[in-house]
Amino acid sequence: SQTIHQWPATLVQPVGSPLSLECTVEGTSNPNLYWYRQAAGRGLQLLFYSVGIGQISSEVPQNLSASRPQDRQFILSSKKLLLSDSGFYLCAWSGQYREEYFGEGSWLTVV
Amino acid sequence: GIQVEQSPPDLILQEGANSTLRCNFSDSVNNLQWFHQNPWGQLINLFYIPSGTKQNGRLSATTVATERYSLLYISSSQTTDSGVYFCAVGSSNYKLTFGKGTLLTVNP
């Protein structure tokens, strides 16, 4: 069966520090991969999606970037964090049946 | 882009009650999913239902694509049903647009 993991689960970072969140999918090949952010107020905002290795589409211009170095690995990065980057970050994958499945999420607090 | 509206925004129930959550969307879609986010943040896929009706235990969902709405039914609610229910729609192969969710609280 397919599983998705993301880490770290929580982190507190100072303003101006770098960020790296990692997401890995197991049990499937060539998944579509997604990064979402959920700020206070519940809505999920799609940040990046990828349909293949090295293929990244950005939905919202911002201080973040994404990379897909391997088929089942998706990384969210920032060179210098801002206070406004705080939030709950979720990685997700979908396959041929288009249903999306989410990781456990990463709580980021920028101080 | 597609607009997604969910109602009600908040709902409080007693254990054992039934409820109906609604999702309206502004354009034709070929992808519609319902999710449940538990109090710990985990998002669980409940249904992939771009049209028709599906049932899974106490939960069922109906999408009327021609009228641009979907309904999620919860019967005999339990405290573990508490959390936020999201509707998400898409018209391309890759992207979903999420509604703001319905916060459900089930009291014992």
pLDDT at B25: 97
Q: Residue A18's Cα: distance from chain center in Å?
A: 15
Q: Which residues of B touch A (CB under 8 A)?
A: 31, 33, 35, 41-45, 48, 84, 86, 88, 90, 93-101, 103
φ/ψ (deg, to 5) at B28: -65, 140
**Which of B23, B30, B37, B38 should be substituted to probe chain A, the one whose Cβ sees the most A Cβ atoms within 10 Å?**
B37
pLDDT at B93: 63
Beta bridge partners of B20: B73
pLDDT digits (tens, 9 = 90+) for B3-24: 999 999 999 999 999 999 999 9
Beta bridge partners of B10: B103
Token code pair at residue B58: 């106490």
CB contact under 8 A, B33 and A107: no
pLDDT digits (tens, 9 = 90+) for A41-93: 678 999 999 999 989 999 886 789 999 999 999 999 999 999 999 999 999 99
**By CA distance, what is A39's nearest residue in B?**
B100
Contacts of A102 in chain B (CB under 8 A): 35, 42-45
Cβ-nearest to B86 among A44, A59, A99: A44
pLDDT digits (tens, 9 = 90+) for A1-40: 889 999 999 999 999 999 999 999 999 989 999 999 998 7
pLDDT at A61: 66
CB contact under 8 A, A97 and B48: yes
pLDDT at A42: 76
CB contact under 8 A, A46 and B95: yes
pLDDT at A96: 75
The percentage of residues in chain B with a pLDDT greater than 90, rounded to a whole number, is 91
Give Cβ neighbours of residue A55 (< 8 Å, ≥ 6 apart). Answer: A68
* Nearest-angstrom CA–CA distance, B33 and A96: 15
* Nearest-angstrom CA–CA distance, A28 and A36: 21
Mean pLDDT across chain B: 95
The percentage of residues in chain B with a pLDDT greater than 70, rounded to a whole number, is 99
CB contact under 8 A, B88 and A100: yes
pLDDT digits (tens, 9 = 90+) for B63-91: 999 999 999 999 999 999 999 999 999 98
CB contact under 8 A, B33 and A100: yes
Q: What is the mean pLDDT of residues B45-74?
A: 97
Beta bridge partners of B24: B5, B69
CB contact under 8 A, B48 and A99: yes
